[in-house]
Amino acid sequence: MMNFSNFLLLSFSVVMTASCIGGRPPLYKDASAPVEKRVEDLLSRMTLEEKVGQMNQFVGLEHIRKNEASLSAEDLKNNTANAFYPGFTADSVAEWTRQGLVGSFLHVLTIEEANYLQSLAMQSRLGIPVIFGIDAIHGNANAPDNTVYPTNIGLASTFDTDLAYRIARETAAEMRAMNMHWTFNPNVEVARDPRWGRVGETYGEDPYLVSRMGVETVKGYQEDLSSDDVLACIKHFAGGSQPINGTNGSPTDLSERTLREVFFPPFEAGVQAGAMSLMTAHNELNGIPCHSNEWLMEDVARGEWGFKGFTVSDWMDIEHLYDLHAVAENLKEAFCQSIMAGMDMHMHGVYWNEYVCELVREGRIPESRIDESVRRILGVKFRLGLFEQPYADEETTMDVRLCDGHRKTALEAARKSVVLLKNDGVLPIDPQQCRRVLVTGINADDHNILGDWSADQKPENVVTVLEGLRAVSPETDFVFVDQGWNPRTMSRSQVDKAASVARNCDLNIVVAGEYMYRGRWTERTSGEDTDRSDIDLVGLQNELIRKVAASGKPTVLVLISGRPLGVEWAAEHLPALVNAWEPGMYGGQAVAEILYGKVNPSGKLAVTIPRSVGQVQMIYNHKPSQYFHPYSGTPSTPLYPFGFGLSYNKYEYSDMNMDKPDISAKDSVKVSVKVRNAGAMSGEEIVQLYIRDRFSSVTRPVKELKDFVRVPLEPGETKTVEFTVTPDKLEFLDRNLRPTVEPGEFIVMVGPSSSDDDLLKASFHVH
């Protein structure tokens, strides 16, 4: 019997052959022709309806069937994860696909459905393939049976740009093995509010670090944008990571200076790295919704930065111009506003095709404007090789997905992402002295360790913390007291049970944090659209920590979370604190290896951890006057600063030097420092370089990260680390928002974190 993949390939061959009967094949089907000529040839053959269809995306058929059976039309109003189309069925969408009126799908989670939908598109008049987009944020984790790496905030805590590139390459391979072509990542928003639920989806609070990680991720996904690659999407443009009340999609009000100095640089870097899709943000920006913001899409992205790809809306956000922001009187007007402001593709749904075609026929949208968008979309499809390879092989897909090499990278990334925040000597654990160990907490034995944007994965492909501990130290008696997965419904009797067991153990490990699993959308405490008015531990978790610690036995707190948590009591009273973020499929193994000293921790915080929500906004690169008047009664310092992270070694910094004390505005300065491993373990230190413009015509941050490097060091080894401070690292925007390097003193700081106490300092002058 012929399998479905072979049937699809044969069907595609028949369609291609039939199209050639009676003459030469159309130019757009000639793989040897230049992409630009193929695009123009195909565009000339398309009807208006087919063009507008290329600009529209739908959720997958199985997604529709599942949700139309469980959701009501009323449920859809505030749901940004699940959808169906009231009045239409999955069969309706299938027929539109067969007619060539659908350009893209999202929420297609299996190779079988992707191949089937592509077979429908191949039956259309022109045989234009659809492009499948998916939220492959940390691996293609949103679909089952794929490698799950740490989420972006954990990856950023590695400060390892080569690792970011490698993970993106591996993700691209697994996506193409599933017939997926487009990832809605990297999220290059600069996260400056820990209440916001999507912090874990970002690379943190620093524009330079976010830019570096984002660029390598774009390059890893796209490479040269051919049949082995996937399309990157830089998102969300712009400002949604500093909402006025901390909630996703709420208004953002930011000066143009702040936008250009903080929020724009990672997007511009992504464009320069070649990103070929860009997603606008849910929020309004200074009174203009981003989805109808011509200044953002056309003037800045295309005009200033030269963006060549296509712009896609976020989930139903064009509709929100009408039903939420109220800047359009109806859906048709909303579609008109967004397209004329620069939008190329609509995520997602019905009525788009009908209303946009009407707008063109009425003369409100020139057909030439539609052609611009379709050219961009078709160009990507040709470059990705979808016309030649519309299907993926179902028989070989698992040769790529979850392969040994990808699993190895996931474990390496998890190990490097874990941040040791406090250690008063209890770590690493000595199994000879700690023979009986309590393990408890909501995240001790749960797949929540995978993080947000993760589908259900098979148990054999996930290592929880409890499983990791038992594997790493099999001689230890680990006593597990289950607290359930939901922090809101924790049982006081189970908390008391853990406290009782703790008294008879040598060591206690509490694995606490947030709950991110998307399968229980309304019960989460962190992740997309799960924002909070505080940053405390939810439920009885603090009570659990205090009661277990009251046993008098050493207690270690491990946090699994996508956002910074204000665990001030634990930081003051417990001997050890570990922030593991959302470490992915091998997170439990990585945490256990670090707790037992099999791996030396090396992660550094990509965000500042405040003491409480009352300190928001708490960022390291603040302006000089931010703490001129300190808080009354509480410290003005963070719980843990940006860039901070401990090792089982002590790294000593010395002999900081610069090759010249004075330079011109076009010159560079070489900075060197010696770093010595004064400990007994081999390890890697993340050396960080910060700069401050001492006096300037506009106020500047007290320090800004301008470079970093991971340095491997053996016990007793000393290495000289060199940085080159180039003119672009001294540049800022003057009073007229023009880039400039002003003369004067620049302070250079090098050390293991952004804390002043950790930094060696020197200065040079620009003349």
What positions carry a catalytic annotation? 314, 523
- What values do phi and psi take at 489, rounded to 5? -115, 25
- Which DSSP letter does residue 150 get? P
Rounded Cα distance, 108 and 49, in Å: 24
Tokens of 69: 């059976």
CA distance 215 to 85: 37
The span from the CA of 35 to the CA of 227, in Å, is 14
Token reading at 247: 């909630």
For residue 444, what are its two tokens? 């001790």
Ranges assigned E (strand) in 514-608: 555-560, 576-579
Instruction: State how far the Cα of 22 lies from the Cα of 613, in Å rounded to an integer.
Output: 72
Residue with the two structure tokens 């060197």: 672
As a whole number of angstroms, the distance between CA 708 and CA 642 comes to: 13
- Work out whether strand 651-658 and strand 662-663 pair parallel, antiparallel, or are unpaired: unpaired
Compute the radius of gyration of the chain from its Cα atoms.
27
662-663 sheet: strands from edge to edge: 662-663, 760-766, 744-751, 683-693, 704-713
* Cα separation, 54 vs 643, whole angstroms: 44
Sign of CA dihedral 423, 427, 433, 434: positive
Q: Are strands 234-237 and 288-289 parallel, antiparallel or unpaired?
A: unpaired
Is residue 100 within 8 A of residue 121, CB to CB? The reply is yes
Give the CA-trace dihedral at 269, 643, 635, 527, to 10 degrees: 60
Runs of H (alpha helix) within 143-263: 152-156, 161-176, 207-222, 256-258
d(CA 584, CA 407): 11
| Spatial contact of 189 and 233, defined as CB atoms under 8 Å apart | no
SS3 112: helix
Which residues does residue 309 pair with via DSSP β-bridges, in sequence order? none
* Tokens read off for 628: 């001129």
- Report the SS3 class of residue 63: helix
Sheet holding 182-183, edge to edge: 182-183, 131-134, 104-106, 56-59, 346-347
| Residue labelled with tokens 């001294």 | 730
**Coil, strand, or helix at residue 712?**
strand
The contacts of residue 361 (CB under 8 Å, 6+ apart) are 48
Structure tokens at 651: 């790294």
DSSP state of 650: -
**Cβ contacts of 75-82, under 8 Å, gap ≥ 24:** 79/521, 80/315, 80/316, 80/528, 80/529, 81/518, 81/521, 81/528, 81/529, 82/521
User: Residue 241 gets which letter from DSSP?
Assistant: T
Distance in angstroms (rounded) separating the CA atoms of residues 704 and 724: 15
